[in-house]
Amino acid sequence: MRNTERRVRRGNTITQALEYQLDACCNDGRITAMVVADGDGLPLASSGDTYACDEVAARMVRVGPRLLEFNGTVLNNSGQQWEVQILKIFVSGSELLVCAVGGTAEARSRQITRGAAGAVRILAA
């Protein structure tokens, strides 16, 4: 019995593989943006609305150290708001944050779980 390859695209680098993973999550869940960021709020990989990714990643720093998960509204300095879900993951002793922006609460929940599992798999390889 042969295994069927589910992936349509394969990345040549870790960053590209993460971006492909996040892009698939955005497309499947109709999510506005997804980002994986380090503890300083610097995006390691993202997909979707670049501005939303950068803004939300920068604001993750405030909630990241205190929470394992966050689900709510994030505001920027000009009052724009995004509905987000954030999940902390641990890879090789480092804390990373995976964030889904926009879409429905159900879609964010499903895609944040998928994106986090993919990020752990990709980064642990």
Query: What pLDDT score was predicted for residue 8?
Result: 60
7 in a structural domain? no
Q: What is the CATH number of the domain that holds 48?
A: 3.30.450.30
Whether 99 is covered by a domain: the verdict is: yes
2 domain residue, yes or no: no
Does residue 77 belong to any structural domain of this protein? Answer: yes
Q: Is 5 among the domain residues?
A: no
Sheet (strand 94-101) strand order: 43-48, 33-37, 94-101, 81-91, 69-75
Cβ-Cβ contacts under 8 Å for 73 (sequence gap 6 or more): 81, 82, 83, 84
Number of domains in the chain: 1
6 falls within a domain: no
> Rounded distance, CA 115 to CA 92, Å?
17
Range of the domain at 85: 14-124
Note the pTM of the prediction, 2 decimals.
Answer: 0.85
Q: Indicate whether 9 belongs to any domain.
A: no
Confidence of residue 7 (pLDDT cuts 50, 70, 90): low
pLDDT at 42: 87
